[in-house]
């Protein structure tokens, strides 16, 4: 495998680590800095707000700096921020760490999801994105597994030191790379704004708003949901790892087993099952039924993000402007929805918050259906 390909895979792996870390340390971090669920939700929103700001900015800088420099920044800043969380003495320090993590997240995200389709499966971006994002699932899976099973033995700070090392390791090969492709034409804010007139881009952004709302909120609050079922923290982190494992396996299955012709119609079906499984989480009476519904939710959610991006690229071409724009719109969901869930959870009504997520899954059925049925072509 080329260095460029290895760096692309490392980028989505690092993004998985960054997006999974809050849910994995949430209960311990709350104990350390003495905050409730409402403030915890604000930390997720801060990360997503930072991602929103830096999504377009890093998209603009990548053609100038190159994938190599952007990757090195992402891996390095991510590792430093995790170490900062390990030592955070207060809510303000944790907030600073999560805001800075947005820089790292968007750097590795751009390297993974823009570089990946350039070096893998040319002409089939949905397949490339699903395979790339298997490694997002791997990062999301290993993070709660390592934290949940190591924190009791090595302690909170040492455990986060291991996570920081995971983020820093890709620096070793990225710094040696010489085969990174260039983005032809560079990033142009005027051209990016022009895509706002494209119905397919708007539909993709709205669909990602729903999806990122679901992923960021579930990833951050599943351990709290499981605590509501009297599950101890170590088991809760293991179940959270199961959620990310299901998500990863679904992407692997999609990359190799789902025909390309099905991709435009794939997301509405997945979103339908997600709406049902989230409502099963709302009504679950036992830990077993709650965990089963959670795993089903993770499995059907897995292929949604990469398939949406791939379907959109199929209509617009692979473009840093398009990816940055639809991801920025989607991140608005990651800013708003965790705060809503945090409010419900702080008042003891986390299941009502889950009902909001089920409604977003229903909206995703409709929006992704419109996108898949060819809104871009109809607009012509």
* Per-residue pLDDT tens over the stretch 265-292: 889 999 999 999 999 999 999 999 999 9
Domains of the chain and any CATH numbers: 3-379 (1.20.1250.20)
Place of tokens 């199929």: 314
Mean pLDDT, rounded, for 284-309: 92
Give the pLDDT of residue 140.
Answer: 85
Average the pLDDT over each of 36-40, 297-301, 319-323, 339-343 and give the range with the smallest value. Answer: 319-323
Residue pair 270/299 in contact by the 8 Å Cβ criterion = no
Per-chain mean pLDDT for the chain: 87
Sorting pLDDT into bands at 50, 70 and 90, what band is 157? Answer: very high
More confident call, 331 vs 133: 331
142 Cβ contact partners less than 8 Å away, ≥ 6 residues apart: 17, 166, 241
Percent of the chain with pLDDT over 90: 40
CA gap 325, 266 in Å, rounded: 22
User: Is 60 exceeded by the pLDDT of residue 25?
Assistant: yes
Compute φ and ψ for 286, nearest 5 degrees.
-125, 160
CA gap 364, 210 in Å, rounded: 6
User: Is 90 exceeded by the pLDDT of residue 130?
Assistant: no
Reported as a single tens digit per residue, the pLDDT across 210-268 is 999 999 899 888 888 998 888 888 888 889 889 988 988 888 888 788 887 888 788 99
Maximum alpha-carbon separation in the chain? 61
Give the pLDDT of residue 376.
Answer: 42
Q: Which of 137, 291, 143 is nearest to 222 (CA)?
A: 291
Q: Which of 247, 218, 220, 206 is nearest to 331 (CA)?
A: 206
Reported as a single tens digit per residue, the pLDDT across 41-95 is 889 889 999 998 888 788 778 888 889 999 999 999 999 999 999 999 999 999 9
Which pTM value belongs to this model? 0.78
Mean pLDDT, rounded, for 111-131: 72
Give the pLDDT of residue 378.
Answer: 38
Give the pLDDT of residue 126.
Answer: 63
């Amino acid at each position: 495998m080329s260095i460029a390909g290895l760096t692309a895979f490392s980028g989505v792996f690092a993004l998985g680590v960054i997006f999974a870390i809050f849910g994995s340390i949430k209960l311990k971090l709350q104990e350390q800095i003495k905050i409730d669920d409402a403030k915890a939700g604000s930390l997720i929103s801060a990360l997503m707000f930072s991602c929103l700001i830096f999504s377009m900015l890093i998209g603009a800088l990548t053609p100038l700096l190159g994938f190599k420099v952007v990757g090195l920044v992402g891996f390095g800043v991510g590792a430093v921020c995790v170490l900062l969380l390990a030592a955070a003495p207060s809510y303000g320090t944790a907030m600073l760490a999560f805001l800075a993590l947005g820089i790292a997240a968007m750097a590795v995200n751009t390297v993974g999801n823009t570089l990946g389709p350039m070096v893998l499966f040319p002409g089939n971006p949905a397949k490339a994105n699903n395979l790339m994002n298997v490694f997002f699932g791997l990062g999301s899976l290993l993070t709660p597994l390592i934290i949940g099973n190591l924190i009791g033995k090595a302690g909170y700070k040492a455990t986060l030191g291991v996570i920081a090392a995971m983020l820093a390791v890709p620096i070793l090969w990225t710094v040696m790379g010489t085969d990174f492709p260039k983005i032809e034409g560079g990033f142009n804010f005027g051209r990016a704004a022009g895509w706002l007139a494209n119905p397919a881009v708007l539909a993709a952004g709205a669909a990602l708003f729903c999806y990122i709302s679901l992923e960021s909120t579930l990833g951050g609050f599943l351990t709290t949901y499981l605590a509501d079922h009297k599950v101890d923290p170590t088991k809760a982190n293991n179940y959270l790892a199961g959620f990310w494992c299901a998500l990863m396996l679904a992407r692997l299955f999609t990359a190799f087993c789902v025909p390309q012709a099905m991709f435009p119609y794939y997301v509405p079906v997945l979103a339908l099952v997600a709406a049902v499984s989230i409502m099963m989480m709302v009504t679950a009476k036992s830990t077993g039924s709650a965990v089963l519904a959670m795993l089903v939710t993770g499995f059907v959610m897995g292929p949604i993000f990469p398939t949406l991006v791939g379907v959109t690229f199929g209509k617009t071409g692979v473009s840093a402007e398009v990816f940055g724009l639809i991801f920025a719109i989607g991140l608005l969901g990651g800013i708003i929805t965790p705060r809503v869930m945090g409010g419900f959870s702080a008042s003891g009504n986390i299941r009502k918050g889950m009902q909001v997520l089920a409604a977003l899954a229903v909206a995703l059925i409709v929006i992704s259906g419109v996108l898949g049925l060819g809104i871009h072509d109809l607009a012509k």
